């Protein structure tokens, strides 16, 4: 046997043991309660599919072609009734506190029937991620309490996230690119807050969400140094809704243009600004901003992977049903050897995609932003203590400066760079792997089904249309490949540089 | 590519390119709204007037006798802008060629020279399948007057709601194989469904139809349908390939133009080498698609042995190239590529729709290897 120093030395070589084999390392730390909780979540998703998604998916897709201005209020209300918008909100903020990784399985389930409806349910959590990653506990509490109250009152309160601009998509997701990009959303510091001017585009559920996480910069020439994140609410003076994009797929989930004209945002709605960021850490602002962005995309990209896996699974299930019911050249299609191999290939794609988001979730749970919630004592503490305890004992503490300071220290100052890279790299790996297989399986299903697959009323062509979008949002798959290289490969090559090509 | 070696095809290219630029390119999004928006009747009428609906027909039947290469050049250029019209031209050519191959001279003379508008010139047929493979076909019975009556359903009859006539594959009771029948779609015994909302080629509509003792005339011999389809599709596969080549080139042109206009990280995105690589892959595929179509046309026109198989091989390959390339064509434009106000998402859909022309691609591949290996045609064997 090798000595401990020898083992450590060999395992530190590229690829580092601790950046690979994540499930092997972290499965033993998994609280057992998470398994039962996840079983419940999957069953809930399947029930929702039976009662809502499956009966509505094609009807609503058709409706959006007949009426491009359609907005999915009835789906939002149904999801709100079922408590989906606070399901993955931690109990200390009033939510149900279901473990975060279970959301990926939920996404795959609902996504296997309709990615558009899944996004109506799920993109709210992109907003939640943008809100919570700021660690601004008083503001997080204020907004998430409205989400929870919305479920009680039957008036849904959703959160969107607005980052993409007409001239800047990929640029705004990478601190290394943003200073060279065409960022135009300006935040001017004034007494008591900021005044925002500019447009945001492709904002999923922008028309339907009450709150929006909004980003702007105080200096358009130095965006990475001057980024400001705020919460804005529909109805605020200077905040209006523009056009509703005419998309190829996921049409039930609107992609909105948001317009800000001299929109004043008071200090109490500022998530962070350069000054507040450096209050708790001496690290450069651009490093802290990249960490903030990484926290968001590290949790949302595995979710997008799960959407791709959902598409892959939906396509597989359609192809399987078709092959089982159809005769080809005088015998059941399912009994042709090549068909069996195609179906096996599609099934394999689904399973590999699922493994990718599972690994990425392990990275988030133990090396990323979920790590505190997944520590066994804290997990059970949150799971079994009654909501009233959190409301009465914990909630008042969240308003205190000390809470905000502690969370900022933990996540922005003390958190390790290697852990950031691991979570972000795996999230990117999952994102482009799962979404590529989503489109791949749709292509295979269509080739197998031929004419039957072309009809909207058969369902599979819609999955192909829907699936293409997941290769684009949450960073194009090209950007995600570069991020994987940056996070998991480049650290082993001293002279490797990313985003410096000109 | 074809016009580089065959200068006589240049007028067809010029005509189709100018038609595409004038009638299609600026209204692609509007035309694509069908069946939820209006059908582009005026465009179709103009296509009829310039002869696009009768490229392969002889002049005495109202066609322009252009040959398969001319058809490919026209489809390529039309499909760069909007492949819906390409689908209409293709489907009509398929029906015409089956009738011609069957020597249905009386029917040909009755329809095409006498047509006074596009609707009368169009013959609907199920062009997105190999009728011998998967479609549940109607049945035909001899009627007392020497003709036939059709009963049952036919799915996805392309042009079924805009054509005056249709060429329908059906099984004659008590006879093996399938047969083609020509019928008037205007009768009460033909029940047409609503236009089918499909993945792509929205303005090349299809409907499901039900026949209730609908009168029809046999085209060719009883049971000859599969042989007719095989003979004609052997030629028209290359026309389908030309459609895919056109879609591919349209997607590449749009992506290239966008990559010069769009900035990221301070420079045009074409200067980022990963974007260059996406574009380069598209360019290579466009060139290969052109070569495949040109060589397959040459094989067909020179009467090469195995020309039908070569056309299928070219089509299968070009369809695959196109489906891969249009995915990247959307990707280069990012979020904009997914929106209907850019043309890329339509090409992404249309590519898959065109791939399904004349049947499912895996079975096309199986037929290629069985021909090479000298094995029995499994479709024919299934009858």
- The predicted-structure confidence for B277-326, as pLDDT tens digits, reads as follows 999 999 999 999 999 999 999 999 999 999 999 999 999 999 999 999 99
pLDDT value at position B146?
75
pLDDT of residue A463 exceeding 90, the answer is yes
| Residues of chain B found within 8 Å of residue A476, distances taken between Cβ atoms | 331, 334
pLDDT value at position A174?
85
Q: What is the pTM of this model?
A: 0.96
Contact present, B199 and B73 (Cβ < 8 Å): no
pLDDT value at position A370?
85
Task: Count other C-beta atoms under 10 Å from residue B305's C-beta.
Answer: 8
Q: Please give the Cα distance from B293 to B2 (Å, whole number).
A: 8
- Contact of A57 with chain B, judged by CB distance below 8 Å, is answered with no
| Residues of chain A found within 8 Å of residue B355, distances taken between Cβ atoms | 446-447
Q: Please give the Cα distance from A208 to B221 (Å, whole number).
A: 62
Q: Please give the Cα distance from A19 to A488 (Å, whole number).
A: 8
Q: Do B199 and A454 touch (CB under 8 A)?
A: yes
Contact present, B104 and B62 (Cβ < 8 Å): no
Contact present, A286 and A175 (Cβ < 8 Å): yes
Q: Do B275 and A446 touch (CB under 8 A)?
A: no
Contact present, B222 and B179 (Cβ < 8 Å): yes
Residue percentage of chain A with pLDDT more than 70: 100
Scan for tokens 């895919």, then name that residue. Answer: B244
Residues present in chain B in total: 383
Cα–Cα distances (Å) from A51 to A56, A57, A77, A89, A113, in that order, read 9, 11, 14, 24, 12
DSSP A437: H
Residues present in chain A in total: 502
Q: Please give the Cα distance from A393 to A372 (Å, whole number).
A: 19
pLDDT value at position A387?
84
In this prediction, residue A395 has a pLDDT band, given cuts at 50, 70 and 90, of confident
- Contact of A195 with chain B, judged by CB distance below 8 Å, is answered with no
In this prediction, residue A371 has a pLDDT band, given cuts at 50, 70 and 90, of confident
pLDDT of residue B119 exceeding 70, the answer is yes
pLDDT of residue A316 exceeding 70, the answer is yes
**CB-closest option in A177, A338, A450 to B264:** A177
pLDDT digits 0-9 by tens, B139-166: 999 987 779 999 999 999 999 999 999 9
**Which residue did the predictor score with more confidence, A193 or B135?**
A193
- B140: β partners: B150, B172
Q: Please give the Cα distance from B210 to B185 (Å, whole number).
A: 11
pLDDT of residue B381 exceeding 80, the answer is no
Q: Quick one: which of A148, A152, A153, A154 has its CA closest to A390?
A: A148
Strand, coil or helix: A75 = helix
Strand, coil or helix: A34 = helix
Average pLDDT over residues A456-481: 97
pLDDT of residue A339 exceeding 90, the answer is yes
With residues binned 3-state (H G I as helix, E B as strand, rest as coil), the percentages for chain B, rounded to 5, are: 55, 15, 30
Continuous segment of H or E residues that includes residue B112: none
pLDDT of residue B135 exceeding 80, the answer is no
Q: Quick one: which of B346, B290, B365, B229 has its CA closest to B72?
A: B290
pLDDT value at position B6?
82
Beta strands in chain B (DSSP E): 123-124, 139-142, 148-158, 165-172, 179-184, 190-192, 206-219, 263-264, 267-268
| Residues of chain A found within 8 Å of residue B244, distances taken between Cβ atoms | none
**Which residue did the predictor score with more confidence, A384 or A242?**
A242
Mutate to test the interface with A, among B160, B176, B177, B199 (most CBs of A within 10 A): B199
A 342-361: CB under 8 A from B: 342
In this prediction, residue B253 has a pLDDT band, given cuts at 50, 70 and 90, of very high
Closest chain A C-alpha to B106 CA, distance in angstroms: 31
pLDDT of residue B18 exceeding 70, the answer is yes
In this prediction, residue A146 has a pLDDT band, given cuts at 50, 70 and 90, of very high
Q: Please give the Cα distance from B209 to B137 (Å, whole number).
A: 11
Q: Please give the Cα distance from B37 to A336 (Å, whole number).
A: 41
Torsion of CA A217, A184, A468, B364, to 10 degrees: -140
Continuous segment of H or E residues that includes residue B43: helix B41-49
pLDDT value at position B352?
98
Lowest mean pLDDT across A8-17, A147-156, A165-174, A361-370: A165-174
């Amino acid at each position: 046997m090798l000595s401990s120093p020898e083992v450590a030395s060999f395992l530190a070589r590229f690829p580092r043991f601790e950046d690979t084999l994540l499930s092997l390392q972290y499965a033993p730390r998994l609280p057992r309660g998470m398994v039962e909780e996840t079983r419940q979540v999957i069953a809930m998703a399947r029930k929702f599919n039976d009662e809502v998604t499956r009966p509505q998916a094609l009807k609503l897709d058709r409706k959006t072609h007949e009426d491009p201005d359609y907005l999915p209020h009835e789906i939002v209300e149904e999801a709100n009734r079922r408590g989906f918008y606070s399901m993955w909100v931690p109990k200390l903020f009033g939510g149900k506190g279901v473990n975060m990784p279970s959301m990926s399985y939920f996404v795959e389930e609902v996504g296997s029937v309709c990615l558009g409806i899944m996004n109506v349910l799920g993109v709210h959590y992109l907003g939640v991620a943008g809100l919570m990653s700021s660690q601004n506990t008083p503001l997080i509490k204020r907004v998430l309490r409205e989400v929870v109250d919305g479920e009680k009152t039957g008036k849904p309160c959703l959160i969107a996230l607005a980052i993409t601009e007409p001239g800047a998509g990929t640029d705004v997701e990478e601190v290394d690119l943003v200073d060279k990009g065409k960022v135009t959303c300006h935040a001017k510091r004034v007494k008591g807050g900021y005044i925002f001017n500019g447009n945001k585009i492709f904002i999923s559920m922008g028309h339907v969400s009450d709150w929006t996480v909004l980003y702007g910069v105080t200096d358009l020439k130095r965006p990475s140094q001057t980024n400001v994140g705020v919460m804005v609410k529909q109805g605020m003076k200077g905040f209006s809704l523009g056009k509703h994009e005419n998309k190829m797929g996921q049409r039930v989930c609107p992609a909105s243009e948001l317009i800000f004209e001299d929109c004043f945002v008071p200090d109490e709605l500022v998530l962070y600004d350069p000054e507040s960021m450096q209050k708790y850490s001496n690290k450069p602002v651009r490093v802290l901003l990249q960490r903030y962005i990484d926290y968001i995309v590290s949790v949302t990209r595995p979710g997008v992977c799960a959407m791709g896996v959902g598409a892959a699974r939906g396509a597989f299930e359609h192809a399987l049903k078709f092959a089982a019911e159809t005769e080809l050249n005088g015998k059941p299609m399912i009994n042709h050897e090549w068909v069996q191999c195609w179906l096996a290939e599609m099934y394999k794609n689904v399973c590999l995609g699922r493994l990718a988001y599972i690994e990425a979730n392990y990275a988030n749970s133990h090396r990323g932003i979920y790590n505190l919630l997944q520590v066994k004592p804290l997990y059970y503490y949150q799971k079994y203590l009654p909501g009233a305890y959190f409301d009465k004992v914990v909630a008042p503490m969240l308003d205190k400066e000390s809470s905000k300071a502690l969370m900022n220290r933990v996540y922005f100052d003390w958190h390790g760079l290697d852990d950031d890279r691991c979570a972000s790299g795996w999230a990117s790996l999952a994102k482009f792997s799962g979404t590529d297989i989503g489109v791949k399986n749709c292509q295979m299903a269509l080739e197998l089904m031929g004419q039957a697959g072309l009809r909207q009323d058969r369902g599979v062509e819609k999955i192909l249309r829907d699936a293409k979008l997941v290769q684009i949002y949450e960073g194009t798959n090209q950007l995600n490949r570069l991020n994987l290289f940056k996070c998991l490969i480049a650290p082993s090559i001293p002279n490797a540089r990313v985003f410096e090509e000109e | 590519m074809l016009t580089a070696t065959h200068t006589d095809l240049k007028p067809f290219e010029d005509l189709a390119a100018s038609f595409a630029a004038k009638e299609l390119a600026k209204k692609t999004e509007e035309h694509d709204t069908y069946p939820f928006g209006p059908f582009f009747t005026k465009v179709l009428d103009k296509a009829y007037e310039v002869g696009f609906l009768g490229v392969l027909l002889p002049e005495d039947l109202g066609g322009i006798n252009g040959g398969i290469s001319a058809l490919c050049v026209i489809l390529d250029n039309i499909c760069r802008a909007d492949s819906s019209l390409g689908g209409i031209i293709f489907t009509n050519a398929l029906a015409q060629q089956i009738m011609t191959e069957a020597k249905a001279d009386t029917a040909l003379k009755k329809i095409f020279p006498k047509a006074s508008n596009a609707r009368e010139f169009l013959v609907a047929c199920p062009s997105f399948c190999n009728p011998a493979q998967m479609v549940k076909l109607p049945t035909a019975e001899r009627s007392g007057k020497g003709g036939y009556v059709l009963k049952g359903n036919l799915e996805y009859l392309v042009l079924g709601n805009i054509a005056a006539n249709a060429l329908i594959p059906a099984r004659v009771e008590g006879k093996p194989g399938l047969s083609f029948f020509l019928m008037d779609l205007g009768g009460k015994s033909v029940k047409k469904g609503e236009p089918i909302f499909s993945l792509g080629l929205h303005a090349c509509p299809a409907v499901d139809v039900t026949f209730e003792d609908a009168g029809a005339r046999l085209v060719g011999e009883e049971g000859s349908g599969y042989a007719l389809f095989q003979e004609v599709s052997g030629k028209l596969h290359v026309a389908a390939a030309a459609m895919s080549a056109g879609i591919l080139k349209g997607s590449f042109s749009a992506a290239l133009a966008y990559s010069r206009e769009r900035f990221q990280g301070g420079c045009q995105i074409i200067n980022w080498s990963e974007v260059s690589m996406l574009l380069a892959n598209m360019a290579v595929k466009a060139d290969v698609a052109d070569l495949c179509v040109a060589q397959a046309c040459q094989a067909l026109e020179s009467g090469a042995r195995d020309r039908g198989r070569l056309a299928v091989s070219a089509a299968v390959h070009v369809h695959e190239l196109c489906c891969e390339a249009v995915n990247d064509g959307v990707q280069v434009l990012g979020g904009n590529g997914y929106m209907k106000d850019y043309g890329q998402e339509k090409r992404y859909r249309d590519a898959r729709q065109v791939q399904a022309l004349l049947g499912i691609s895996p079975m096309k591949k199986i037929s290629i290897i069985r021909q090479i290996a000298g094995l029995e045609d499994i479709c024919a064997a299934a009858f």
